[in-house]
Every structure is written in C-alpha cells, then in structure tokens.
C-alpha cells in the first residue's frame, strides 16, 4: 500500500516536472583546473571544426566528403565507396573508446567533448560578453523590457545567429568545397540542398546551444540514459563527500556556536556555489543524478570555497562509489585492461591497414562456362574476369601477368587492351591465361598480378585456381 502511494507520488512529481515551464539556468562563471581543461577542449575541438575545411592538401581541400563524386579526401588519403569498411571500423573504434572511457571515468565525453557541451560553452561565453555575469543576467531577465534590455537581447541573438550561420556554412563546407560554397553564397548561386543544410544546421546550433542547452542533455540525449549501464563501483564519478560535508551549516557565527557546544559540523558551508555554477542546475549534494554531465564545474567552485575557508579541497571530487564507502578502489581492473587491449589492438590494426592501403583492388572471378579450353594440341586456356577498382587519384591503363606454371601467358581481348579506369572507377577486364599443356596438372594455384601503368603503387596480386585436362 505504502509502495503504491509512493509510486503515485513519484508519478505525480514526474508529471509536474514535465509540465512545469522550465526556468532558465544562469550558470555562474568559474575558474579552476577543470574549467581550464574544458576551455582548452573548446578551443581545440571548435578550432579544428572551423579551421580544417580551409586547409589544402595536394591541390584539393584537405578534408572533404565529396558526396556527388563519391570520394572522401582526408589529407593525403582518398577514400572511395569501396573503402566503406574503414568508416565502419572507425565507428567501431569510436564506440569502444566511449565504453572504455565511460567505464574508466564516467561521463568524460559529456563534460568535455560532446558538441552540445562545446557549443553551449561558446554560446554562454557570448551571453556573458553581452549581458554580463550571472547576477546581471538574472536581473536583466526579471526586469521590464527597457531600451537597454531590448538592445542587449538583440545583440546577443544577432551574434548567436551569426555564429550559428557560420557553423552551418562550415558544416556544409565539409561536403562541398568551402571556398566554392562561399563564392556561391556571395553571388547568390547557392543550390537548394546547400541552402537547406546550412539553414538546418544553423537552426540546430542556435536552438540546441543557445535556447535548449541542458534540456538537450536531460530530455533528448539517449547516451545520458544508458551510460550508467557502463558504470561499476570503481568508475570515477564526481561526487560530494557526504561524510565530510554533513551536517552542512550556513553562516560562520552559527558554525562557531555549534562547534562551541560540541555539536557536529560538516565542512559544507551551504554557500550553494556548486549549484550556481552547475550548467544543468542540479545540486550534487543530493547524490549521483543522471542530469549530471560531469563537467566538474562544482569541483572547481567548491575547491575555491574550501581553500578560502582554510580547509582541504576535495569536498566535491572525482572519486568512486567504493572509495566513498571506504573500500579499496581499483582503477586498473580486469575489465579495463581487457577493454584497453582490445581498443589498442583495433587502433593498431586500423593504422596498419591504412598505412598499407592499396590504391588498386582486384577481385578475380573464374569463367563459369568452362573449366578450361584447349587452344591447340599444346596449349590450354582458362578465362577470368578481373574486377578492378582504381582507389588512387590517377587515371590508369593496366598490364596483367600470371605466375605459377612455366611459360604461362596472359592475353587480353582487343576491346580490353586499352581499357582505362578513372580514379574511383570499377571496371571489368577479361584475362585469357594460356599455359603449355605438358606443364599442367589437373588443378594448380596461380597468381594473377594487375599493375596500373601510371602509378607504381597501383598493383595487386590475387591467387586463383587454374584447371588443366589431366
Ligand atoms: S560549494 Fe562546497 S561548501 Fe558550498 S554548498 Fe557546495 S558543497 Fe557546500
Ligand atoms: S553536478 Fe557538478 S559535474 Fe554535474 S553537471 Fe553540475 S556542475 Fe557539472
């Protein structure tokens, strides 16, 4: 009965929270070691995003996902649809990294590297620049619509929209050469899809980082919901040390009186600085909550307070559930070592296969109509179809050779002799492989090598079966 009552109450509370109009959160500005790390992450990640499409490499844009021509340039590498495996591999490595770092240190991704966090930091920085610090922003929001308020709001939104449009332009610049895109915008020649995606991405940036902010993390992000499944009792979490902090007590005088009476007094002075700096507006002292994006702002805020009070910092800190209960913590646990080894193995293999990636890929298919053909009394012929993918960036003519039987020769039909493959093109060549009958067994393995005449790197050798009459 009690349980039902409790459940009913919880449901009511959830309903009320969902229908309650959300009060805007004005996080207080904070300085500290974790904030420095976060600022660094913003600079590096946003710097990369905005600068990369402007870099050139070998006469083309260094990073360009050229969808119309179905090729991706990433610095010196050109990827074709046949290289889709690398993208899948990269996604698997990214997913594994997320598991590994989440199991190790909780929501590191959310706090430092998620685009939502990074862009929100930038939008909040603009807001502070125009409207002032937290107190000034609260006063401005609560105050009437004066001339000053209208001007400040107008400037803030104008800057946000400009940044959002530039972000949309940069995003589309990864798929259409960015200089050409800029030229098209300036000359009013922008295509409908480019216009749509620039506006769509701009709207998403403005809406998510400017207006919705923490609500994206609270209500829209799926990762926030399942990340706790990757936690264990040794995962680093940001937590308030209740044993040390409670009973909290506000006011120096009250604390001194309580101490004089011999009453217990915790280290928390209930200054609420940890709540004021929190971008999601929660109180970390209420325990681990899914709303916490692990930005560590509350650690910086509380450390500053503790130092000012002449106490040890670390009342809020990175710790583990085991450590909080006074049990031993094992950061290097078997699960972590296993994840790490798999991750390193995948990264190593990925790097190796990229470094040894061939610019030519050949698949050999045997002629299904006949195992072999007798050309004359001394010569046998097997016919193969060679599927050749030119993954380099040069136009190629081909030569084909065969090894495995002395005196073996390859004859290309007239129509295939001068066949070329454009960069990224897949072509079929018919190869007639002839061998002296007296050197043949019933079945032998041979190697067929295809070389691109214009590129010494363009070479691939494949094994196949060769059939003779004996
Ligand atoms: S910042 Fe520290 S001292 Fe202040 S309320 Fe938060 S936990 Fe307590
Ligand atoms: S509780 Fe602390 S770590 Fe969590 S979101 Fe708020 S400020 Fe960031």
Q: Of the candidates 357, 373, 398, which is a domain's last residue? A: 357
Are both 286 and 369 inside the same structural domain? Answer: no
Closest to 422 in 3D by CA, of 385, 458, 448: 458
Asked whether residue 3 is domain-assigned, the answer is no
Looking at ligand 1, which residue's alpha carbon is closest to its atom 7?
268
What pLDDT does 264 receive? 92
Asked whether residue 323 is domain-assigned, the answer is yes
Are both 205 and 348 inside the same structural domain? Answer: yes
pLDDT above 60: residue 222 = yes
Question: In which band, very low, low, confident or very high, does the pLDDT at 462 lie, cut at 50, 70 and 90?
Answer: very high
Asked whether residue 14 is domain-assigned, the answer is no
Residue 118: domain span: 19-357
Which is more confident, 359 or 181? 181
Distance from the alpha carbon of residue 171 to the mean position of ligand 2, in angstroms:
30
Which is more confident, 76 or 15? 76
13-17, 24-28, 108-112, range with the lowest pLDDT: 13-17
Residue with tokens 């990214």: 94
| Cβ–Cβ under 8 Å, residues 210 and 164 | yes
129 to 151, 152, 468: CA distances (angstroms): 14, 10, 82
pLDDT above 60: residue 98 = yes
Stretch 179-194: mean pLDDT:
94
Closest ligand 2 atom to 316 CA: 2
Are both 353 and 370 inside the same structural domain? Answer: no
Stretch 215-231: mean pLDDT:
83
Ligand 1 pocket check for 302: Cβ under 6 Å: yes
Looking at ligand 1, which residue's alpha carbon is closest to its atom 6?
274
Kindly state the percentage of the chain with pLDDT values over 90: 67
Query: For residue 188, which phi and psi values (nearest 5 degrees)?
Result: 65, 30
pLDDT above 60: residue 461 = yes
pLDDT above 50: residue 227 = yes
Question: What DSSP letter does each residue of 169-191 carry, written as one string?
Answer: HHHHTTTTTHHHHHHHHHTT---
Strand 409-411 vs strand 396-403: parallel, antiparallel, or unpaired? unpaired
What pLDDT does 5 receive? 40
Provide the 3-class DSSP secondary structure of residue 57: strand
pLDDT above 70: residue 10 = no
What pLDDT does 447 receive? 96
pLDDT above 80: residue 11 = no
Looking at ligand 2, which residue's alpha carbon is closest to its atom 8?
295
CATH code where residue 424 lies: 2.60.40.10
Name every residue whose Cβ is closer than 8 Å to that of residue 227 and which is 6 or more positions away in sequence. Answer: 102, 106, 107, 110
Question: In which band, very low, low, confident or very high, does the pLDDT at 17 lie, cut at 50, 70 and 90?
Answer: low
DSSP structure class, residue 393: S
Q: Which ligand is nearest to the CA of 25?
A: 2
Asked whether residue 9 is domain-assigned, the answer is no
pLDDT above 70: residue 15 = no
What pLDDT does 20 receive? 55
Domains: count for the chain: 2
pLDDT above 70: residue 251 = yes
Asked whether residue 1 is domain-assigned, the answer is no
Question: In which band, very low, low, confident or very high, does the pLDDT at 60 lie, cut at 50, 70 and 90?
Answer: confident
Distance spanning both ends of the chain, measured CA to CA: 87
Question: In which band, very low, low, confident or very high, does the pLDDT at 331 lie, cut at 50, 70 and 90?
Answer: confident
Identify the H or E element spanning 305: helix 297-308
Closest ligand 2 atom to 278 CA: 7
Are both 333 and 456 inside the same structural domain? Answer: no
Ligand 1 pocket check for 271: Cβ under 6 Å: yes
Are both 68 and 195 inside the same structural domain? Answer: yes
Per residue in 348-375, pLDDT (tens digit) is 999 998 888 888 889 999 988 889 999 9
User: Ligand 2 test: best mutation among 277, 279, 287, 293, most atoms within 8 Å of CB?
Assistant: 293
Are both 370 and 438 inside the same structural domain? Answer: yes
Q: Of the candidates 323, 357, 391, which is a domain's last residue? A: 357
- CB under 6 Å to ligand 2: residues? 238, 277-280, 282, 284, 292-298
Name every residue whose Cβ is closer than 8 Å to that of residue 319 and which is 6 or more positions away in sequence. Answer: 236, 237, 239, 241, 329
Asked whether residue 371 is domain-assigned, the answer is yes
Per residue in 209-221, pLDDT (tens digit) is 999 998 898 888 8
Provide the 3-class DSSP secondary structure of residue 404: coil
Distance from the alpha carbon of residue 245 to the mean position of ligand 1, in angstroms:
8
Are both 50 and 195 inside the same structural domain? Answer: yes
pLDDT above 50: residue 3 = no
Stretch 372-388: mean pLDDT:
94
Are both 351 and 370 inside the same structural domain? Answer: no
pLDDT above 70: residue 6 = no
Are both 52 and 138 inside the same structural domain? Answer: yes
Stretch 151-177: mean pLDDT:
97
Kindly state the percentage of the chain with pLDDT values over 70: 95
Q: Of the candidates 357, 392, 408, which is a domain's last residue? A: 357
User: Ligand 1 test: best mutation among 239, 240, 265, 268, most atoms within 8 Å of CB?
Assistant: 268
Distance from the alpha carbon of residue 320 to the mean position of ligand 1, in angstroms:
19
Are both 307 and 368 inside the same structural domain? Answer: no
What pLDDT does 377 receive? 87
What pLDDT does 18 receive? 52
Are both 162 and 282 inside the same structural domain? Answer: yes
Distance from the alpha carbon of residue 316 to the mean position of ligand 1, in angstroms:
8
Asked whether residue 127 is domain-assigned, the answer is yes
Which is more confident, 107 or 169? 169
Are both 227 and 259 inside the same structural domain? Answer: yes
pLDDT above 50: residue 274 = yes
Q: Please state, rounded to an integer, the average pLDDT across all residues of the chain.
A: 90
pLDDT above 80: residue 7 = no
Closest ligand 1 atom to 298 CA: 1
Ligand 1 pocket check for 165: Cβ under 6 Å: no
Asked whether residue 239 is domain-assigned, the answer is yes
User: Ligand 2 test: best mutation among 282, 299, 300, most atoms within 8 Å of CB?
Assistant: 282
Per residue in 428-443, pLDDT (tens digit) is 999 999 999 999 999 9
Stretch 163-189: mean pLDDT:
96
């Amino acid at each position: 009965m009690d349980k039902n009552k409790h459940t009913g109450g919880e449901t009511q509370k959830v309903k009320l929270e969902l229908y309650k109009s959300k009060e805007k959160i004005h996080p207080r500005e904070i300085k500290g070691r974790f904030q420095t790390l976060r600022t660094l992450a913003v600079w590096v990640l946003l710097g990369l995003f905005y600068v990369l499409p402007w870099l050139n490499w070998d006469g083309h844009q260094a990073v360009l996902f050229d969808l119309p021509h179905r090729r991706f340039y990433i610095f010196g590498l050109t990827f074709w649809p046949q290289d889709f495996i690398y993208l899948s591999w990269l996604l698997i490595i990214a997913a594994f990294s997320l598991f590994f770092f989440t199991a190790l240190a909780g929501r590191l991704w959310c706090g430092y590297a998620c685009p939502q966090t990074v862009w929100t930091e930038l939008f909040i920085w603009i807001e502070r620049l125009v409207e002032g610090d937290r107190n000034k922003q609260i006063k401005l929001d609560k105050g009437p619509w004066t001339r000053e308020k209208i001007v400040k709001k107008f400037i803030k939104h104008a800057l946000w929209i400009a940044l959002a449009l530039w972000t949309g332009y940069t995003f589309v610049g990864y798929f259409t050469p960015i200089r050409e895109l800029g030229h098209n915008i300036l000359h009013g020649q922008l295509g409908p899809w480019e216009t749509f995606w620039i506006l769509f991405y701009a709207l998403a940036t403005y809406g998510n980082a400017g207006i919705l902010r923490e609500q994206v993390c609270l209500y829209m992000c799926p990762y926030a919901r399942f990340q706790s499944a990757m936690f264990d009792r040794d995962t680093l979490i940001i937590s308030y040390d209740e044993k040390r902090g409670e009973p909290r007590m506000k006011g120096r005088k009250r604390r001194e009186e309580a101490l004089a009476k011999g009453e217990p007094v915790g280290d928390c002075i209930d200054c609420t600085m940890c709540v004021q700096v929190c971008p999601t507006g929660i109180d970390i002292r209420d325990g681990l909550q899914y709303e916490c994006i692990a930005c560590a702002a509350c650690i910086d805020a509380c450390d500053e307070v503790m130092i000012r009070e002449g106490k040890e910092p670390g009342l809020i800190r990175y710790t583990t559930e085991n450590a909080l209960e006074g049990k031993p913590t094992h950061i290097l646990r078997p699960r972590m070592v296993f994840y790490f080894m798999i991750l390193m193995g995948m990264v190593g293999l990925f790097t190796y296969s990229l470094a040894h990636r061939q610019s030519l890929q050949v698949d050999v298919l045997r002629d299904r109509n006949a195992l072999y053909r007798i050309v004359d009394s001394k010569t046998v012929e097997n016919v193969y179809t060679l599927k050749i993918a030119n993954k380099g960036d040069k136009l190629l003519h081909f030569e084909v050779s065969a090894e495995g039987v002395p005196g073996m020769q390859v004859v290309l039909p007239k129509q295939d002799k001068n066949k070329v493959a454009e960069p990224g093109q897949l072509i079929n060549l018919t190869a007639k492989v002839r061998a002296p009958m007296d050197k043949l067994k019933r079945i032998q393995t041979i190697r067929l090598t295809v070389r691109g005449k214009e590129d010494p790197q363009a070479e691939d050798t494949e094994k196949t079966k060769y059939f003779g009459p004996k």
